[in-house]
Copies of this chain bind each other. A is one copy, B any other.
Amino acid sequence: MAEQETAVDTAEEDDTELDRHRGDAILEAVEIADRDALTALLEPLHAADIADFLEQISAGERRRLITLWGDGIDGEILSELDENLREEVIATLDPSVLAEAVRELESDDVVDLIEDLDQPQRFAILEALEKADRVAVEQSLSFPEESAGRLMQPNVVRAPEHWTVGDAIDYLRAARELPDQFYHIILVDPRMHPTGYVTLGKLLGTARRTRLLEITEESFRTISVTTPEEEVAYMFNQYHLISAPVVDDEDRLVGVITIDDAMLVLDAEAGEDMMLLAGVGDESVSDRTLKIARQRFPWLMVNLMTAILASLVIAQFEAAITQIVALAVLMPIVASMGGNAGTQSLTVAVRALATRDLTGSNALRVVRREATAGLLNGAAFAGIMAVVGIVWFGLPMLGVVIAAAMVLNLVVAALAGVLIPLGLEKIGVDPALASGAFVTTVTDVTGFFAFLGLAVMLLL
C-alpha cells in the first residue's frame, strides 16, 4: 500500500486519480456485485476521494456499494464524508466494521465524526473505542460546538522549559507512542502553562547542549479551549501558524490544534458566507430534494415579503402608470441597477469583515468611499439612461426623471450595502445573514419610489 502510494505522480494516467472513467468502472463493479474488482478500483484512492465519490452517487448506489465493499470502509473515509451523509452511511455499516473503523482514528477525528450523530449512533461509536480514547473524546465533546476544544488533539508532545535539545531528542526517541502528526515541542512550566515552542526542524539542526528556551519560535500563540473555530482559523491564516497549543481557563496546556484542521474550518467558513449571502443555508450537493426545497423556502419567503413591499409602493402610483405606461416599462431598470450596485458593496463589505480588513478604525472611510463610488457610477448611468429614456420614448423630462432616480438609488445602494452588514456585525449577527434581503428591499423601495414619485412631480 505504502509502496503503491509513494510511486504516485500527478503526471499522465494516474492510478490514484478519481476520474469519470474510474467512477463508471466502480459503479459497474457494484452493479454486477464484483467485490474483487470493486476493491481493486477503490483501494488505491485517497479516503477523501472515496468520500467525494460516495457523495456524488445516488442513495441506492451508495447502499449497494457499502454493502458489497463491507470492511473496506475505514475511519478515514468516514471522517472525510460530508456530515449530511455520515448518519446514512454509518447506519448501513456492519457494527463490527464501524467499531474497527473508528478505533484507528485520532481522537480529534472521532470528535468531528460523532458530534453531529444522534445519541444511539454516538453511543455505539464511543463504546467501540479504547478507554483512553473514549475519555479524550468525551472531554472534547464537553466543550461548546465549533470551539477550539472540539478541534484540538489532546495528545501533545511537551517538554519542561529547562530541557536541552539533547534531552528532547532522547525523550522523543524513547517515547512509546507519538502523535501521527506533530510539528513542535511545546515548552511548559511546572504548572503546565505553555511558554513557547520549538519546531522539529530547529531541534534537528541545533547542537544537543543548546537549551530549548533559546530556540523557541517568535510566532508562538496560545488559544483558549472556548475560542470559536472561526477565530482559530483566522489566527492560523493571519499569523501563519502550523500548530498552536490550546489552554484551559487556568491557562494550562490541554491540547494542540494543527493547521490542517484550521484550513478545513477556513474553507468551510468562506463557503458559508457565500451561501448565506445568497440565502442558502448549510446545504450540500448530496442533500435530498425535499430538504433543499425546505431549506430555501424561508429565504424565498423573506424575499416575497420584500417584493410585496415594493409592489405596495408601485400601487401608490397606479394612476400615473395608467397615464404614462413608459413608467412601467422603465421602472424595473432603476430597481435592478440599485440591487446590483447594493450587492457589490455588500459583498465587498461582508468579505472585508470576514478577513478583518474592515474594522472600527476604517469603517467611516469605507462608508464615505462607497457613497462616493455610488455617486460616480450613479452619475454615469444617469447620463446613459437619460439618453435611453429620451430616444426610446421621446420624452426629455422622462430622461431627467430616470437619471435623478438612478443617481439617488445607486448612492442609497452603496450606503445600504456597507451600513447593513456593519450594523448586523455590531449587534452580534453574522453580517452575511439576511444582508442581501435587507439591501434589495432598500434598493427596490427606493428605486420605485424615487422614479415614480419624481415622475408624478415632473411629468404629470
Give the B-binding residues of A (Cβ under 8 A): 1-2, 5-11, 20, 23-24, 46, 48-49, 52-53, 55-58, 82, 157, 169, 172-173, 175, 178-179, 181-183, 195-196, 199-201, 203-205, 207, 216, 218-224, 227, 236-240, 242, 247, 251, 259-260, 262-264, 266-267, 270-271, 273-275, 277-280, 283-286, 288-290, 292-293, 296-297, 299-300, 303-304, 306-308, 310-311, 314-315, 318, 321-322, 325, 327-333, 335-337, 340-341, 343-344, 346-348, 350-352, 355-362, 365-366, 369, 372-373, 376-377, 380-381, 384-385, 388, 440, 444, 448
A201-B179, A224-B11 known; A330 vs B311 contact (CB < 8 Å): yes
**8 tightest Cβ-Cβ pairs between the two chains A and B:** A270-B270, A278-B347, A200-B200, A328-B328, A56-B362, A6-B196, A293-B373, A293-B376
In the complex, A360 Cα to B57 Cα: how many Å? 11
A20-B360, A270-B271, A308-B388 known; A377 vs B293 contact (CB < 8 Å): yes
B336 x A297 contact (CB < 8 A): no
B7 x A195 contact (CB < 8 A): yes
In the complex, A280 Cα to B342 Cα: how many Å? 11
B181 x A201 contact (CB < 8 A): yes
A270 x B274 contact (CB < 8 A): yes
B173 x A2 contact (CB < 8 A): no
In the complex, A373 Cα to B169 Cα: how many Å? 60
Q: Which of B242, B266, B360 contacts A181 (CB 8 A)?
A: B242
A279-B343, A357-B284 known; A251 vs B9 contact (CB < 8 Å): yes
In the complex, A359 Cα to B55 Cα: how many Å? 11
Q: Which B residues lie within 8 Å of A344 (CB)?
A: 278-280, 296, 299-300
Q: Which B residues lie within 8 Å of A46 (CB)?
A: 219, 238-239
A183-B201, A204-B172, A341-B300 known; A292 vs B260 contact (CB < 8 Å): no
